[in-house]
Amino acid sequence: MAKRANGSGRSPNGRPNDTRDRLFRQQTIRRPTAISGVGIHTGRETNLRILPAPPGAGICFRRTDAGNVEVPADLKSVSSLELATTLGRDDVTVSTVEHLLAAVYILGIDNLVVEMDGPEVPILDGSAMPYLLLLQAAGVRPQNASRQILAITSVIEIDRGDKWLRASPYPGLRLDYTIDFEGCAVGRQRLQIDVDTRSFERGLAPARTFCRQMDVEQMQRAGLGLGGSVDNCIVFDEQGAVNTDLRFADEPVRHKALDAVGDFTLLGAPIWGHFEVLRGGHQLHYELLRELVANPRYWTWMRGDELPPPADRPLEADRPPTWLPGFAAPAT
């Protein structure tokens, strides 16, 4: 990306440049918005009210049913990573934040308050698409504050034997994600994608959460998955999806990549790098982010006007969903 010729944040023809605004300036939503739904693990109905926040505020969850305790969306707040990302403060938690945070990340939103009257962010249809559409309808506006991007400068790897995650320098956010689920039709799937607003909307946001049929009863005995249904979760047996049609042939790995984008939001800044993941999940994502924060030698802060241009076109994974009921397909 060429450096700005002036400080206006405008393109050469004098029109506002949304891409530059997302790189150079912090952003929030233009107007409050709201949505309600059940939590996939608690089964409880929760009402969300999403509000603009001032520059530098970051993303914060506010539990209106628990004394208005505020839980920042950052790495220090992580309290559990079992089947979802849970944040906590003063014994107050907010769980399953990753789908909402993924939509926040891809729209370049830095500052936001999420009021909620329950412990779990609604699962809605199991994907990030409802949250993406909700925030797009609320509008995104730049703020009078600069932002920086965390750019990976050297290779860093988290190796846990049969699972690992490697990050290396790259001018953008690229995911090379592989999953491997035995005992069901998911099997081994690999996704390679350059993540930007367009590829996220078309190739990641619609992908829904999933589980193996053999795990359903075990989860419910543990008090999890109590809000799961045919409307918000794909269940796989050895032959295939047992309760719904797929939106993509490789929907499970796309959902895992979506989760990664949501977890990356906990860093508190956009991140540029090439992330190769084998059998990843919330725990592995968190361990990498924690290692990055502890070791600045692997990265540097960069302003938007200092970054090289991202790849011109996403990889082949940027293709429209085959099935998306209830939502308008993005323009091609």
Confidence of residue 215 (pLDDT cuts 50, 70, 90): confident
pLDDT at 27: 97
What's at 197, amino acid-wise? Answer: T
pLDDT at 230: 66
3-state secondary structure 54-121: CCCCCEEEEECCCCCEEEECCHHHEEECCCCCEEEECCEEEECCHHHHHHHHHCCCCCEEEEECCCEC
Beta strands in the chain (DSSP E): 25-29, 33-38, 45-52, 59-63, 69-72, 78-80, 86-89, 92-94, 112-116, 140-146, 148-152, 156-159, 164-168, 173-181, 187-194, 210-212, 234-236, 271-278, 299-303
In angstroms, the Cα distances linking 13 to 6, 16, 281 are 12, 9, 44
Confidence of residue 224 (pLDDT cuts 50, 70, 90): low
Structure tokens at 127: 């994907």
Average pLDDT, stretch 106-118?
98
The answer to whether residue 9 scores a pLDDT higher than 50 is no
Average pLDDT, stretch 149-160?
96
Asked if residue 268 lies in contact with residue 74, where contact means CB atoms within 8 angstroms, the answer is: yes
Ranking 8-22, 146-160, 169-183, 237-251 by mean pLDDT, the lowest is: 8-22
- Cα separation, 170 vs 168, in Å, equals 6
pLDDT at 272: 96
pLDDT at 41: 79
Q: How many helices (H) and strands (E) does the chain have?
A: 7, 19
Does residue 99 carry a catalytic annotation?
Answer: no
pLDDT in tens, 171-202: 999 999 999 988 777 888 999 999 999 999 99
- Cα separation, 305 vs 19, in Å, equals 11
Confidence of residue 330 (pLDDT cuts 50, 70, 90): very low
Ramachandran area for residue 14 (φ above 0: left; ψ -120 to 50: alpha; else beta): left
pLDDT at 45: 94
pLDDT at 163: 95
The answer to whether residue 317 scores a pLDDT higher than 70 is no
pLDDT at 244: 82
Structure tokens at 64: 């209106």
* Phi, psi angles (nearest 5°) of residue 192: -120, 125
In angstroms, the Cα distances linking 302 to 23, 194, 305 are 10, 20, 8
Confidence of residue 124 (pLDDT cuts 50, 70, 90): very high
Mean pLDDT over the full length of the chain: 85
Catalytic site residue from 41, 255, 274, 282 = 282
Domains delineated in the chain: 18-306 (3.30.230.20)
pLDDT at 323: 34
Structure tokens at 220: 């419910």
| Percentage of the chain exceeding pLDDT 90 | 68
At which residue do the structure tokens 């993005």 appear? 330
pLDDT in tens, 255-314: 999 999 999 999 999 999 999 999 999 999 999 999 999 999 999 998 766 656 555 444
The answer to whether residue 316 scores a pLDDT higher than 60 is no
Centre a 10 Å sphere on the Cβ of residue 283 and count the other Cβ atoms it contains.
17
Ranking 15-19, 221-225, 288-292 by mean pLDDT, the lowest is: 15-19
Confidence of residue 34 (pLDDT cuts 50, 70, 90): very high
Higher model confidence: residue 123 or residue 183? Answer: 123
